[in-house]
Amino acid sequence: MTDHIELGKRGEKMAAEHLDKKGFKILDKNYVFGKAEVDIVAMKDNTIVFVEVKTRESSYLSGPGYTVSTKKQKQIIKAADAYLKAHQLEQESRFDIISIILNNQYNKLEHMENAFYPTG
């Protein structure tokens, strides 16, 4: 079985390469605010995109993108708000999830734009 941390790093690298090919500019990786982290901060078409990357070896039971809990979403939103304030950015923003399945038989990447929204 692949080491969990190494699998995550491979997935984040694959996600960043995908975003780059799609014309996104990577602004930051692994931005941490308190206990919250945003895997990738990118920009495309003057929109700041906060990306959560979920990498698994199997989609058994549910795909990786569906494992982002409401609690995790709130943490990402909190970190995103801190990022925007710290960098004095006022552009529109959104939250995407890139889910990746990596195993010996195949690699699959799914990019879900506007995967979740800030709640008030």
Cβ proximity of 40 and 87 under 8 Å: no
pTM: 0.89
Structure confidence by residue, pLDDT tens digits, 55-99: 888 765 455 456 688 889 999 999 999 999 999 999 999 999 999
**In this structure, CATH architecture of domain 4-116:** 3-Layer(aba) Sandwich (3.40)
Structure confidence by residue, pLDDT tens digits, 24-49: 999 999 999 998 999 999 999 999 99
